[in-house]
A and B are shown apart, each in its own frame.
Chain A
Amino acid sequence: MELKDIRRNIDKIDRELLVLLQERMGLALRSTKFKETISDTQREEELLAKAERLNLDLVERSFTRQLLRSIIEESKRLQKKEPLLVAFQGEHGAYGDVAARKLIPDGACIPCLEFIDVFRGVEEGHFDLGVVPVENSLEGAVTQVNDLLTTTDLKVIGEARIRVNHCLLATEVTDYRDIRMVYSHPQALAQCRGFLMRNHLEPRPYYDTAGAAKMLARENPRAAAAIASALCAELYDLEIIKEGIEDEPSNMTRFLLMARDPYGKRGEKTSIIFVTPHESGRLHAVLQLFAEAGINLTRIASMPLRSDPDNYCFFLDFEGDENDAAVKPVLEKMEGMTISLKRLGSYPANGTGC
């Protein structure tokens, strides 16, 4: 090993230390939702003592104590700031993370494994807010999320439209000409099919775009690259070989910001879900109310009901607040015309949430 190789490894370890610290701080912030006070002297002492018992000959005990002590102090300082905990699905750097940062710039973004973890976590008070993708301009509705929207008690309090800018990422030591395999979420791979074919690259499905980037940085497999956001390049120290590699440049995903309480102020848009009786003209009658009141619809989608596959529920987004003079009577009339009507909430249009 030469000096430059040694230094490259040191850089890599430093980076991993910081990424682990980021994860540790995230967990510490999550712990605040379970405890009364930030400080717990007994727990701190246990933690320090346990670390000291580790027999590491190059890391002296006094240094261990000093290092952990300063990490604990920083963690407590962070907890005192009480940032909003914003849950998203995927690893750090996922497009949900990009949307969460746009919606709540000062929040602490917490990764979750599944969409249901985001919903349950907010419902149970483990997170303050959740950010979930509801539809994509190329792929249509995100069914899992729409399904969860039908059963949740959470309210929509904001939305963000995120331009999906797929980047081809590789580690610094990888020569782009050697790349043969590309790891990413199947949907991202599908959206970049033309690029992959033109450059004779083999798609390798992975559970998450950011997860693929993280794996690349940690394991550095030979001849491999990942498709993920530009944020991932920053977080995992990867090189952007090419930006905007998707076949269709107008690739947008719309995210919803979910909370336990409604928005509270006048919203610019409203989302509802309803079910009509299975009789001719019922859906038309509902839509006619909106047409007559001059309310512009921004989204109409239908999904089979889980409990009754022969019947459908309808997702409707429209301009205006549910308490607006034009909207309120329409929703009241709808109560009598539908089997169920669920008001997800009114919220500001694209971008500014909370």
Chain B
Amino acid sequence: MNNLKLSTREPEHRTVVDVSGVQVGKGFTVIAGPCSVESESQTVETARAVKASGADMMRGGAFKPRSSPYSFQGLGLKGLKILAKARSEIGLPIVTEVLDPRDVSWVAEFADVLQIGTRNMQNYSLLKEVGMVGKPVLLKRGMYSTLEEWLNCAEYILSEGNPNVILCERGIRTFEKYTRNTLDLSAVPAMRELTHLPIIIDPTHSTGRISLIGPMSLASVAAGADGLIIEVHNNPAEALCDADQALTPDLFEDMMRQLRPLQSFMERLPRLKTSHQAM
């Protein structure tokens, strides 16, 4: 990992990313919201519900990277305007994905955090572009990428002068078919050893199954992650994408009721001894 100059510097130092007042890297940050922005009422209603359950930020896609060109591609600029409306009404900072280098400055005008999706993790021109914008970046792990490749991509953003990078583990491709991907939860303590950047977990895309999202969210807290990004839809049956993996506001609330006490419990525990020397 000799080429990693900025992401591995000062292992004792921990980066805290300030997102319009929300400190990512301190405590446990929960980001929730629909896969894609479909309408103003859907977005605002979902934002209201997740805030009531204790979410710190909201997510919502205006530009969607879909496996098929015939699937819903997102509302684009109209979606960004709806997200801005939801922020002003509900007061949660906005995380949204950017796909095209030409859109970066425009998305930055509306969003609080720019998300680089798993398919674009190694889109180097896009990484350079978000590195030049003064907004925090949420960098998802490529579904076929090693930790080192992932850190190299963070390095692209850092080296352009943007220090505010949040890593997001979203599952990797394995031979297992029951789950959509395999959640590599060991990435959390591993990244703690390798980098000062905060790391959060996406339990939605890594499992692809509603029944597994809650347990994996709690496991993320126990593993020492800095937060979660999770899909919640006010009416999953009518969602235009990822309908079968979005939590309803009720399920989200139920999960949050267990998550926050677990978080306080974990914060009270002494740090786990992690090496032979320390024994």
Partners in one complex: yes
- Nearest chain A residue, comparing its CB with the CB of B102: A177
With A176-B77, A241-B77 in contact, do A200 and B110 touch (Cβ < 8 Å)?
A: no
Chain B residues, CB < 8 A from A199: 105-106, 109
A177 touches B106 (CB 8 A): yes
B81 CB to closest chain A CB (Å) equals 8
Interface residues of A in 177-224 (CB under 8 A from B): 177, 195, 198-200
CA distance A176 to B109 in the complex (A): 13
What 0/1 readout, one digit per residue, does chain A (92-118) give for beta carbons within 8 Å of chain B? 000000000000000000000000000
* Interface core residue of A177, A195, A245 (most chain B CB under 10 Å): A177
Q: Does A242 contact B (CB under 8 A)?
A: yes
A198 touches B77 (CB 8 A): no
* Interface core residue of A200, A242, A245 (most chain B CB under 10 Å): A242
A198 touches B110 (CB 8 A): no
| B interface: dominant SS | helix
What 0/1 readout, one digit per residue, does chain B (100-119) give for beta carbons within 8 Å of chain A? 00110110111000000000
What 0/1 readout, one digit per residue, does chain A (156-181) give for beta carbons within 8 Å of chain B? 00000000000000000000110000
Interface size class of B (residues with CB under 8 A): 10 to 19
What 0/1 readout, one digit per residue, does chain B (208-238) give for beta carbons within 8 Å of chain A? 0000000000000000000000000000000
Chain B residues, CB < 8 A from A245: 109
B105 touches A242 (CB 8 A): no
CA distance A200 to B105 in the complex (A): 9
Chain A residues, CB < 8 A from B133: 198
CA distance A199 to B103 in the complex (A): 10
CA distance A199 to B107 in the complex (A): 10
Chain A residues, CB < 8 A from B77: 176, 241
What 0/1 readout, one digit per residue, does chain A (251-271) give for beta carbons within 8 Å of chain B? 000000000000000000000
A195 touches B102 (CB 8 A): no
B78 CB to closest chain A CB (Å) equals 10
Chain A residues, CB < 8 A from B81: 240, 242
Chain B residues, CB < 8 A from A198: 105, 108-109, 133
A195 touches B103 (CB 8 A): no
A195 touches B109 (CB 8 A): yes
A241 CB to closest chain B CB (Å) equals 7
- Nearest chain A residue, comparing its CB with the CB of B80: A242
| Number of chain A residues close to chain B: CB under 8 A | 10
Chain B residues, CB < 8 A from A176: 77, 106
B107 CB to closest chain A CB (Å) equals 11
- Nearest chain B residue, comparing its CB with the CB of A241: B77
CA distance A199 to B102 in the complex (A): 10
Chain B residues, CB < 8 A from A200: 105
- Nearest chain B residue, comparing its CB with the CB of A245: B109
Interface residues of A in 231-258 (CB under 8 A from B): 240-242, 245
CA distance A195 to B81 in the complex (A): 16
- Nearest chain B residue, comparing its CB with the CB of A175: B77
B80 CB to closest chain A CB (Å) equals 9
CA distance A176 to B105 in the complex (A): 11
CA distance A240 to B84 in the complex (A): 13
What 0/1 readout, one digit per residue, does chain B (79-110) give for beta carbons within 8 Å of chain A? 00100000000000000000000110110111
A23 CB to closest chain B CB (Å) equals 31
- Nearest chain A residue, comparing its CB with the CB of B76: A176
B102 touches A242 (CB 8 A): no
Chain B residues, CB < 8 A from A177: 102-103, 106
B137 CB to closest chain A CB (Å) equals 16
B103 touches A242 (CB 8 A): no
Chain B residues, CB < 8 A from A241: 77
Interface residues of B in 24-78 (CB under 8 A from A): 77
CA distance A119 to B123 in the complex (A): 60
Chain B residues, CB < 8 A from A242: 81, 109-110
- Nearest chain A residue, comparing its CB with the CB of B133: A198
- Nearest chain B residue, comparing its CB with the CB of A242: B109
Chain A residues, CB < 8 A from B108: 198
CA distance A244 to B103 in the complex (A): 19
CA distance A245 to B105 in the complex (A): 13
Chain A residues, CB < 8 A from B110: 242
Chain A residues, CB < 8 A from B103: 177
- Nearest chain B residue, comparing its CB with the CB of A168: B109
CA distance A290 to B71 in the complex (A): 71
Q: Which residues of A contact B (CB under 8 A)?
A: 176-177, 195, 198-200, 240-242, 245
Q: Which residues of B contact A (CB under 8 A)?
A: 77, 81, 102-103, 105-106, 108-110, 133
Sample (18) of A-B pairs whose CB atoms are under 8 Å apart: A176-B77, A177-B102, A177-B103, A177-B106, A195-B109, A198-B105, A198-B108, A198-B133, A199-B105, A199-B106, A199-B109, A200-B105, A240-B81, A241-B77, A242-B81, A242-B109, A242-B110, A245-B109
Please name the 3 residue pairs, one residue from A and one from B, whose CB atoms are nearest each other, closest first.
A199-B105, A177-B102, A198-B105
* Extra inter-chain contacts (8) besides given A176-B106, A198-B109, CB under 8 Å: A176-B77, A177-B106, A195-B109, A198-B108, A198-B133, A199-B109, A242-B81, A242-B110
